[in-house]
Amino acid sequence: MRQHVFASSVRTPAKSPLPPLAAPASVRVNRRHFLKRAALAAGVAAAPSLIPGTALGRDGKAPPSERIVMAGLGIGGRGSGVLGWMLPEPDVQFVAICDAKKAQREKVKQTIDSRYGNQDCKMYPDIREFLAARTDIDGVLIATGDRWHALAATWAMRSGKDVYSEKPSSMTIAEGQKVVETARRYGRVYQTGTQRLSEANFTFANELLRLGYLGKVHTVRAHIAPWDAAEMSHAWLAGEPEPPKEEVDWDQWLGPCPWRPYNAAYVRGGWRGHYDFHTSCIGEWGAHTFAQCQVAIGAADTSAIEYQYVKNDSGDGMVTQFGNGIRMILNRGGWEGSARGWKGSCGVCYEGTEGWVSVADGYSKPEVSNPAWMGDFTRIVRDYIERTRRPMSHVRDLFDCIKSRRQTIATPVMMHRSMSTVHAANICMWLKRDMKFDPVKEEFIGDAEANRLRSRAMRAPYSF
């Protein structure tokens, strides 16, 4: 937020709407005339200005001086969901959408304008033009495909904007490093879209671990997507005639990726499963679940140090280990020797010497080895909120932090370190061998081939 936005304004006195009272010089000003003038002047001073209620926040929204001005970058299916969380916030106002696809720009504009009952949302096809022109914007919601997340975030932060970036928020270890460096250098607030860190069920699971209910924790399990594979396609889809640039700016859509012939399937979501554009089945859900596990076990500022290759196409069953000795196992569903599995997406399970807790999307409450623990659910979540001052709303946490300049719950460092674990697990699967990783130097130990995969070339001019 611009520094002046939340400061008190100093207002100059308004000019009187009436002309000054005057009389011919030959007319003597008597007491009655003087009193009439004084009464009229007092009435003018006391009369209220006709200021709309919206300017004062009387419609339930914050007055303009307290509003966070937002814009969207690449708002598709997932982004529309996050936009739906953000629009009702009373101190937030969306004013612009930037997207390489005209139809999507117009769709998002209609959603925003309908919310506010106006036609004020501006549309931009080019991210560079948008960032240069809109110096009035405080923050951006980035919900492009994976390929753009890190680059758009760094460009936005350099232009003075705070960021909410959908996950997975980096395509490589090097991209994550750049996001961390940029946020620190420019003093920006950044939130990655691992929203389960701000949900009561997942918070309760993390707190059970932190508070010692599980005893000594030795294993955590992270859900990875049950579709696609770790080994992604390097083939291109067949080229098709490009649409007019106004309809789809293909160069903008590709961004930092290598040049590929246009194919309509890409822009309809068919980019998933392709090495150029995706982070595999491991990154698809691991971006959520690795972050959840690493925060729970106190490893939000580091990455796993060992990766054991598994002979399948997905990474299901891979064992990773952190420096504190805790293992994190990647699972697509249930696991060997246990009837337990997740009945929803993006599940985690924490196992200790005194019991276990498991939760996924769609659970009314977490599953636990000791049902008595559930009697503490409300108290534990309430105590967490009081201790951390974090709301059970990921977007509200962002907006509170934009105002206070406090770090969000899902910081650039947490994003980068958990995504480094994702990237290292992918590299382990691609090279089909066990790996050791040094999280201090951020490099694989004794493996030059793996180290070359920590970054990718970026196509000019779409680079850091």
| DSSP type of residue 205 | H
Residue 3's pLDDT is what? Answer: 42
The two counts, helices (H) then strands (E), for the chain are: 15, 15
Nearest to 367, CA basis, from 342, 400, 399: 342
Report domain extents, the chain: 60-195, 197-231+278-391+412-452
Measured between alpha carbons, how far is 154 from 136 in angstroms, rounded to an integer?
A: 18
Residue 73's pLDDT is what? Answer: 98
Least-confidence region, from 24-33, 182-191, 287-296, 417-426: 24-33
Which helix (H) or strand (E) segment is 383 a member of? helix 377-388
Nearest to 108, CA basis, from 74, 138, 134, 133: 74
The residue that leads in pLDDT, 32 or 64, is 64
Percentage of residues in the chain having pLDDT higher than 90: 83
Q: Is the pLDDT of residue 18 over 90?
A: no
Q: Is the pLDDT of residue 340 over 90?
A: no
Beta bridge partners of 219: 327, 351
Edge-to-edge strand order for the sheet containing 348-352? 367-368, 355-359, 348-352, 217-223, 327-331, 319-321, 306-308, 435-438, 443-444
Percentage of residues in the chain having pLDDT higher than 70: 86
Which helix (H) or strand (E) segment is 69 a member of? strand 68-73
Residue 456's pLDDT is what? Answer: 96
Q: What angle do CA 255, 260, 262 make, to 5 degrees?
A: 95
37 pLDDT tier (thresholds 50, 70, 90): very low
Measured between alpha carbons, how far is 103 from 264 in angstroms, rounded to an integer?
A: 14
Residue 48's pLDDT is what? Answer: 44
The residue that leads in pLDDT, 16 or 147, is 147
**pTM for this prediction:** 0.87
Beta carbons within 10 angstroms of residue 457's beta carbon: 9
Residue 109's pLDDT is what? Answer: 98
Residue 60's pLDDT is what? Answer: 65
441 pLDDT tier (thresholds 50, 70, 90): very high
Secondary structure of residue 159 in the 3-state scheme:
coil
Percentage helix, strand, coil, to 5, in the chain?
40, 15, 45
- The tens digit of pLDDT for each residue in 249-294 reads 999 999 999 999 999 999 999 999 999 999 999 999 999 999 999 9
Q: Is the pLDDT of residue 136 over 90?
A: yes
Q: Which fold has domain 60-195?
A: Rossmann fold (3.40.50)
Residue 183's pLDDT is what? Answer: 98
The residue that leads in pLDDT, 339 or 341, is 341
Q: Is the pLDDT of residue 9 over 50?
A: no
- Region 221-237: mean pLDDT is 95
63 pLDDT tier (thresholds 50, 70, 90): confident
Residue 287's pLDDT is what? Answer: 98
Residue 335's pLDDT is what? Answer: 74
Q: Is the pLDDT of residue 347 over 90?
A: yes
242 pLDDT tier (thresholds 50, 70, 90): very high
Domain 197-231+278-391+412-452 has CATH 3.50.50.60: no
323 pLDDT tier (thresholds 50, 70, 90): very high
Nearest to 318, CA basis, from 449, 216, 222, 217: 222
Q: Is the pLDDT of residue 36 over 90?
A: no
Residue pair 430/454 in contact by the 8 Å Cβ criterion = no
Q: Is the pLDDT of residue 128 over 90?
A: yes
- Region 70-94: mean pLDDT is 96
- The tens digit of pLDDT for each residue in 383-422 reads 999 999 999 999 999 999 999 999 999 999 999 999 999 9
